[in-house]
Amino acid sequence: QKEVEQNSGPLSVPEGAIASLNCTYSDRVSQSFFWYRQYSGKSPELIMSIYSNGDKEDGRFTAQLNKASQYVSLLIRDSQPSDSATYLCAVNEGSGYSTLTFGKGTMLLVSP
């Protein structure tokens, strides 16, 4: 069974710090990786996707992928209180399959 593991948190960081969120996955054939942000009482919102090893930057967000270690991470620079949310890691095995396997999420708390 495919598994996506995340630390449930909460991860607490002060405003302005770098928040580092981590995710490991069990299926070696996984090809596509996504980070979703979910505010309390709201739906998951896609914020980052990454498909190849290395780093991908988008504004204050950087996704990092290491397929050999089956590890994907999300860095949030200059964290803001508005970044406080649960971050869900999702993995897709590729090859035309559209389904995602989600982790249970890491709660991030950014204190002013």
**What is the DSSP secondary structure assignment for residue 100, as one 8-state letter?**
-
Rounded distance between C-alpha atoms, residue 55 and residue 42, angstroms: 28
88 binds another protein (CB under 8 A): yes
Report whether 2 contacts 27 (CB < 8 A).
yes
Region 31-50 residues binding another protein, contact defined as CB under 8 A: 31-32, 34, 36, 42-46, 49
Candidates 16-24, 26-34, 66-74, 76-84; binding stretch for another protein (CB under 8 A): 26-34
Q: What letters, b where the CB count within 10 A reaches 16 and e where it falls short, cover 82-94?
A: ebbbbbbbbbbbe
Report whether 13 contacts 112 (CB < 8 A).
no
96 binds another protein (CB under 8 A): yes
Query: Taking the complex as a whole, how short is the minimal distance between the CB of residue 98 and another protein, in angstroms?
Result: 5
7 binds another protein (CB under 8 A): no
Closest CA to 2 of 109, 110, 97: 97
**99 vs 112, which CB is nearer to another protein?**
99
**36 vs 79, which CB is nearer to another protein?**
36
Rounded distance between C-alpha atoms, residue 66 and residue 110, angstroms: 27
Which of 24, 62, 73, 92 binds another protein (CB under 8 A)? It is 92
Interface contacts to another protein, rule CB under 8 A: 31-32, 34, 36, 42-46, 49, 88, 92, 94, 96-100, 102-105
